[in-house]
Amino acid sequence: MTAVRIELTLRQAPPLRVDLRGLLPATLADLTVAQIEQLPCGHGNHSVPLGEWFSVQRHEIDGDQSALRLVGDCSRFDRIGTGLQAGQLTVEGPAGDYVGAGMTGGELLVQGDAGLLAACEMAGGRLQVQGSVGDWAASALPGGMDGMRGGSFIVGGDAGERFGDRMRRGTAVIHGRAGDLLASRMVAGTIAVAGPVGARPGYGMRRGSLVLAGPACTPGPTFVPAIADVPVAWQLLARSLARHGGAFATLAQRRMQRHLGDLSAQGKGELILVEP
Amino acid sequence: MTAQHNGVVIDVSFAEAFPMKATRILITAHNATWAMNAAVSATGFATSVIACGCEAGVERTLGPDETPDGRPGVSVLIFSMSGKELAKQIERRVGQCVLTCPTTAVYAGIAEGEAVALGRNLRFFGDGWQISKVIDGVRYWRVPVMDGEFVAQETTAVTKAVGGGNLLFMATDVDAALAVSEAAVAAMKRLPNVVMPFPGGVVRSGSKVGSKYASLSASTNDAYCPTLYGLVDKTQITPDTRCVMEVVIDGLTEADVAAAMKAGIQAGISIGRAGGLVRIGAGNYGGKLGPFHFHLHKLLP
């Protein structure tokens, strides 16, 4: 089977922010180079053809998954991979806001940092940001009721504030530090952080697991320490997280202390503090 | 035509087996003893689908490195005549025998096949305190219980299987028949994907189809009853075969049942005529009931 690999190389940085929604591997696979160059992109109040910013190369490759590569500093390009359903999308450099928003499948790799609201309302697939992400990652779109609701989201660097706000399902892993109000209003799912976290982790969480593998922190007053061990569930979770390597590799061998809460919400969540 | 191996006559006959539905579940616990307690209980009263609803047995024990949670465990195979009946049996047996057993957790042991409930309905025992946890795309239920948490995978998979493979060991006396049967079961237990559901893997009440009583679909296999020697017309008993034992085998595939029967025949032949084994036969219904025919001569070593 043949698929298509499309490479878009940034020629010049746009003066304003550019909206790249709809630029997906499967969508571009059926288009010629000329057609791709003519695709309209929102730039400020205007619509500008994609060719204005990128040079386009198209290759036929073996396999059944089409691929799209964006090469260059894309930090002014928003909504990269929004609604991605299948295929591979790689950004060789930083990405703008809303990267991977609402994606339901496929793989998205950002080899630099990402802006605000990365992976917001993500429902499936795998999003990896090798750098850091801004505020409100894995959360809900403004006005949305549910945040991330499926798939895997891996952050190689740090995360901003309100990471995982209203998150409902899926797994999010942060290898660096996380900002204030991590997992605020979390409905369910799993968030694991290797580094230190900011103020009030798990604020208002109803259910879900928040694994803090970094320096010790004091849970908020609306969390209660659990006296019972849950070795089975912990082993299942820790072994799964261990595959992300780094500080998570030894999770299954480390002791942990659970805190239950947030009692101001439903109180069925768990804040897991992993001992060094 | 018959063949003799180590003085044992191998009948020109075949075992007739039929399609079943099966699943494998993995039971883990704080230690191997409690995992086995749950497994033995869950596979109790599961000798024959005639009245038990399913046929089940312990497949093998599992080391900590083989289980999803790193604890010792036991793998159990459960067979039934339909997927619907199997689902009912799984729920009852796991609910009454695994959920209740200290420290246990239960997981699916087969990935491919139609999903049926494992912990999906048992979770309601949690009375609202149960927690769902999706890990790597697999949903688990965490149900609070008095020793901590009962963890159960949401579903297990049902696969096509083969039931009713069998061997008949005709021996000089009870001691010899038991020794041969025990050796055959031990050899079969070393193989994967099969269970011998009867007590100790051995059944002494082999049956024929039908009965003089209209309400019974099966009755004693009078041709193999030594007490009826001289009374019934077509007896298989001779003065030197005074005790017959049967080993019944259920397996996930035709090849698994064949391999187990082969191992059983080999074990019997190794004991030989000197050990009291006179004949090895197999039970069939003329080839009309089951599509799987295991001819003994094709299984000879």
In chain B, what residues touch A233 (CB-CB under 8 Å)? 133, 140, 142, 149, 151
Work out the average pLDDT over A55-64.
Answer: 92
Q: What Å distances lie between residue A239 and B5, B68, B70, B293, CA to CA?
A: 52, 9, 9, 45
B133/A209 touch (CB, cutoff 8 Å), yes or no: yes
Q: B145, B125, B245, B130: which is closest to B185 by C-alpha?
A: B245
In chain B, what residues touch A209 (CB-CB under 8 Å)? 133
Q: How confident is the model at residue B250 (pLDDT cuts 50, 70, 90)?
A: very high
Q: What is the pLDDT of residues A144-183, one digit of tens each?
A: 999 999 999 999 999 999 999 999 999 999 999 999 999 9
A232/B105 touch (CB, cutoff 8 Å), yes or no: yes
Supply the ipTM of this predicted assembly: 0.93
What is the 8-class DSSP label of residue B34? H
> Range with the lowest mean pLDDT among B30-39, B60-69, B231-240, B246-255?
B231-240
- Residues of A engaging B, defined by a Cβ cutoff of 8 Å: 169-171, 188-190, 207, 209, 228-233, 235-237, 239-240, 252, 268
Q: Is the pLDDT of residue B287 over 90?
A: no
Rounded mean pLDDT of chain B?
96
Q: Which of A207, A235, A240 is opposite residue B131, by nearest beta carbon?
A: A207
Quote the percentage of chain B above a pLDDT of 70.
99
Q: How confident is the model at residue B218 (pLDDT cuts 50, 70, 90)?
A: confident
Is the distance from CB of A120 to CB of A137 less than 8 angstroms?
yes
Put residue B33 in one of left, alpha, beta given phi > 0 → left and psi -120 to 50 → alpha: alpha
**Cis amide bond preceding A262, omega within 30:** yes
Q: Which of A188, A189, A232 is opposite residue B149, by nearest beta carbon?
A: A232
Q: What is the DSSP string of A20-67?
A: -TT--HHHHTTS-HHHHHT-EEEETTEEEEGGGTEEEEEEEEESS--E
A209/B148 touch (CB, cutoff 8 Å), yes or no: no
Q: How confident is the model at residue B22 (pLDDT cuts 50, 70, 90)?
A: very high
Q: Is the pLDDT of residue B168 over 90?
A: yes
Q: Which of A231, A233, A252 is opposite residue B133, by nearest beta carbon?
A: A233
Q: Is the pLDDT of residue A43 over 60?
A: yes
> Range with the lowest mean pLDDT among A263-267, B54-58, B147-151?
A263-267
Which site among A191, A232, A234 would you substitute to test the B interface, given the most B Cβ atoms closer than 10 Å to its Cβ?
A: A232
Q: Which of B132, B135, B148 is opposite residue A237, by nearest beta carbon?
A: B135
Please give the angle made by the CA atoms of B211, B217 and B220, to the nearest 5 degrees: 50
**Residues whose CB is less than 8 angstroms from the CB of residue B100 and which lie 6 or more positions away in sequence, other chains included:** none
Q: What's CA B167's distance to the chain center, in Å?
A: 13
Tokens of B64: 């900590």
Q: Which of A171, A252, A268 is opposite residue B131, by nearest beta carbon?
A: A268
Q: Which of A189, A209, A229 is opposite residue B148, by nearest beta carbon?
A: A229
Q: Quote the pLDDT of residue A211.
A: 98
A235/B69 touch (CB, cutoff 8 Å), yes or no: yes
- Residue A245: is it exposed, middle or buried by C-beta count within 10 angstroms (0-12/13-18/19+)? exposed
The runs of H, that is alpha helices, within B23-157 are 32-42, 83-93
In chain B, what residues touch A231 (CB-CB under 8 Å)? 69, 71, 148
In chain B, what residues touch A237 (CB-CB under 8 Å)? 133, 135
Q: Is the pLDDT of residue A266 over 90?
A: no
Q: Is the pLDDT of residue A88 over 80?
A: yes
Q: Quote the pLDDT of residue B232.
A: 93
Q: Which residue of B has its CA nearest to A170?
A: B134
> Range with the lowest mean pLDDT among A266-270, B14-18, B250-254?
A266-270
**Count of A-B CB contacts under 8 Å:** 48
Q: Is the pLDDT of residue B206 over 90?
A: yes
Q: Quote the pLDDT of residue B159.
A: 98
Q: Is the pLDDT of residue B3 over 90?
A: no
A240/B136 touch (CB, cutoff 8 Å), yes or no: yes
d(CA B32, CA B103): 11
Q: Is the pLDDT of residue A1 over 80?
A: no
Q: Where is B266: in which H helix or E strand?
A: helix B254-271
Q: Is the pLDDT of residue B14 over 70?
A: yes
d(CA B231, CA B172): 19
Work out the average pLDDT over B204-218.
Answer: 91
Q: What is the DSSP string of B176-204?
A: HHHHHHHHHHHHHHTSTTEE--SGGGEES
Q: Quote the pLDDT of residue B2.
A: 64
d(CA B280, CA B300): 11
Q: Quote the pLDDT of residue A207.
A: 96
Q: Is the pLDDT of residue A205 over 80?
A: yes
B68/A231 touch (CB, cutoff 8 Å), yes or no: no
Q: Which residue of B has its CA nearest to A226?
A: B148
Work out the average pLDDT over B235-248.
Answer: 95
B148/A237 touch (CB, cutoff 8 Å), yes or no: no
Q: How confident is the model at residue A63 (pLDDT cuts 50, 70, 90)?
A: confident
CA distance B64 to chain A (A): 12
Tokens of A16: 């304003």
Higher pLDDT, B2 or A108: A108
The tokens 């033995």 sit on which residue? Answer: B40
Q: Quote the pLDDT of residue A56.
A: 97
d(CA B235, CA B221): 10
Q: Is the pLDDT of residue A214 over 80?
A: yes
Q: Is the pLDDT of residue B165 over 60?
A: yes
- Residues of B engaging A, defined by a Cβ cutoff of 8 Å: 28, 68-71, 105, 129, 131-136, 140, 142, 148-149, 151
Q: Which of B28, B71, B151 is opposite residue A233, by nearest beta carbon?
A: B151
Q: Which residue of B has its CA nearest to A125?
A: B137
CA distance B75 to chain A (A): 17
Q: Is the pLDDT of residue B1 over 70?
A: no
Q: Quote the pLDDT of residue B236.
A: 93
In chain B, what residues touch A232 (CB-CB under 8 Å)? 28, 69, 71, 105, 149, 151
What is the 8-class DSSP label of residue B82? S
Question: How many other C-beta atoms can be found within 10 angstroms of the C-beta atom of residue A78?
Answer: 22
Which site among A148, A236, A251 would you substitute to test the B interface, given the most B Cβ atoms closer than 10 Å to its Cβ?
A: A236
Q: How confident is the model at residue B286 (pLDDT cuts 50, 70, 90)?
A: confident
**Residues whose CB is less than 8 angstroms from the CB of residue B256 and which lie 6 or more positions away in sequence, other chains included:** B162, B191, B192, B193, B194
CA distance B280 to chain A (A): 47
Amino acid at B220: T
In chain A, what residues touch B132 (CB-CB under 8 Å)? 188
Q: What is the pLDDT of residues A110-137, one digit of tens each?
A: 999 999 999 999 999 999 999 999 999 9
Side-chain-side CA neighbours of B240 within 13 Å: the count stands at 9
Q: Which residue of B has its CA nearest to A232?
A: B69
> Range with the lowest mean pLDDT among A59-68, A116-125, A247-256?
A59-68
Q: Which residue of A has its CA nearest to B128?
A: A268
B140/A233 touch (CB, cutoff 8 Å), yes or no: yes
Is the distance from CB of B39 to CB of B109 less than 8 angstroms?
no
